[in-house]
Amino acid sequence: MPQQQIAILRALQLGDLLCAVPALRALRRARPDATITLIGLPWAGDFVRRMPYVDDFMAFPGYPGLPEQPLDFARLEAFLANARARHFDLAIQLHGNGTLTNPLIAMLGAERCAGFFPPGHPCPDPATFLPWPEDLPEIRRLLALTRHLGMPDCGETLELPILPEEQQAFSELLAGLPIGKQGYVCIHPGARLATRRWLPERFALVADQLAAAGRRIILTGSLDEAPLTAAIREQMRAPAIDLAGQTTLGTLAALVAAAELVVCNDTGLSHVAAAVGTPSVVICSGADALRWQPLDGERHRVLWFPVPCRPCAYKECPTAHECAAGIGVEAVVDESLSLLSSPRENHHAAA
């Protein structure tokens, strides 16, 4: 009997994919012999090669109305032809409420489709589609769908496996850093949207206070965020190690795993910290904290002002910087020192 072919559409960023890991794990446990293909953004091939719940990868070529990937009509036509040639038995839409992505998933030519649909709209198939649950955290929202498909949950913990060669590369990187026997804190001031970034001068003040508490400070970010980390380093009184643009996904994960603490905006690194079990303080402005905050509120402290801002979830927020200004340095420092003084337990047991 031929293997079942299953496609998963989630053409989103790192944090989004990490939040999907519990659903992918439930799918793999329920369909151990299936070939599972992730349809994701071009970078996500790196995610797939380290994730035991996915077998194959198709790069998403963009689609009208979806902002994550510039649309290339020629590549879209070739992509759809390739998908149809694979004869998927099931195509699962894990990319939003389905307004734009359900027509796309239907174009893959799968025998059956599954996913979410907007409440109040016609249901494509009651056996395989769920109304989009507005008020669930993202991890539990996706698990609600796999559960609806008859796939029992296998826990809510996130995972980001680090490959042996990446662990070796991290060890070599760490050996060249002036850390000694001190523990270190990762400060990650960037975010894809500028409206989700806390004030750089406040990150500098937090970093100085954590350095005064005896920790080395490592600034992390992408190459595009190097000007931001450089500006924070220049504003600090204490020395800092700036690794912006100098890590791969795997070495960044290893760096975070060995850190005592992460302080970051509500961005992908928050989910990396959750996946590798490192405590974090997450500053949330211009984002939907109720949807995206880590589930373990003791290990991961999320700060927002004055309340989680639901309307900011999908657009640039004109008042996000006002919200960010309301999150004070002392609140971030207090939560950071509280976590640094707490014993670090196995994150899978604690989640």
Token look-up 């504003």 returns 235
pLDDT digit string (tens) for 102-136?
999 999 999 999 999 999 999 999 999 999 998 99
pLDDT digit string (tens) for 180-237?
888 999 999 998 878 788 999 999 999 999 999 999 999 999 999 999 999 999 999 9
Q: Which DSSP category does 322 fall into? A: H
pLDDT of residue 289: 82
Token look-up 């507005």 returns 134
CB atoms within 10 A of CB 161: 14
pLDDT of residue 182: 83
Q: Do 211 and 238 contact (CB within 8 A), yes or no?
A: yes
Can you give the residue ranges of every domain in the chain? Answer: 5-148, 164-350
pLDDT of residue 313: 43
pLDDT of residue 285: 80
Q: Which DSSP category does 195 fall into? A: G
- Asked if domains 5-148 and 164-350 share a fold, the reply is yes
Name the helix (H) or strand (E) containing 228. helix 226-235
Q: Which residues contact 21 (CB under 8 A, 6 or more apart)?
A: 51, 53, 158, 159, 275
pLDDT of residue 226: 96
pLDDT of residue 311: 45
Q: Is 27 helix (H, G, I), strand (E, B) or coil?
A: helix
pLDDT tops 70 at residue 323 = no
**CA-atom Rg of the chain in angstroms:** 21
Name the helix (H) or strand (E) containing 56. strand 56-59
Interval 68-94 mean pLDDT? 95
| Percentage with pLDDT > 70 across the chain | 91
> What superfamily would CATH give domain 5-148?
Glycogen Phosphorylase B; (3.40.50.2000)
CATH code, 164-350: 3.40.50.2000
Q: How confident is the model at residue 351 (pLDDT cuts 50, 70, 90)?
A: very low
pLDDT digit string (tens) for 237-249?
999 999 999 999 9
pLDDT of residue 326: 75
Q: Chain-wide mean pLDDT for the chain?
A: 91
134's tokens: 């507005």
Q: Is the pTM of this model over 0.85?
A: yes
pLDDT of residue 136: 95
Say which amino acid occupies 59.
A
In whole angstroms, give the CA distance from residue 227 to residue 205. 18
318's tokens: 């004109």
Q: Do 242 and 233 contact (CB within 8 A), yes or no?
A: yes
CB-based burial label for 129 (10 Å; 0-12, 13-18, 19+): buried
Q: How confident is the model at residue 348 (pLDDT cuts 50, 70, 90)?
A: very low
